[in-house]
Amino acid sequence: MGALSKITNRSPEEIKPYLDELIERLVPKEDSFDSASFSETSTHEEWSAEFHQWIDSHKNRNIPVLSDEAMSRESMYPDRW
């Protein structure tokens, strides 16, 4: 967490809840191996609603937005330009 604190200029106390949430999403539940995944069983409407809920969950996190320069193809592949 120390490296993330330096990179993001946020305290470990601010970072920990976010990391805990990510880990919980990434680590499969014990019984999840026996059942089909959400993407295999959900309808288009269910998938869309879940996706929009995920988008909305990031709105109040004060995550910095990348500049247009940072998002440019030239900055992603500097050796190609």
Give the pLDDT confidence score for residue 29 in this predicted structure.
Answer: 67
Residues 1-14: tens digit of each pLDDT: 677 777 777 888 88
User: 39 versus 72: which is more confidently predicted?
Assistant: 72
Residues 26-55: tens digit of each pLDDT: 887 665 555 678 878 889 999 999 999 998
Report the distance separating Cα 75 and Cα 81, nearest Å.
9
How far are the Cα atoms of 12, 26, 44, 54, 78 from residue 17, in angstroms, in the given order?
9, 14, 30, 16, 35
Model's pTM, two decimal places?
0.39
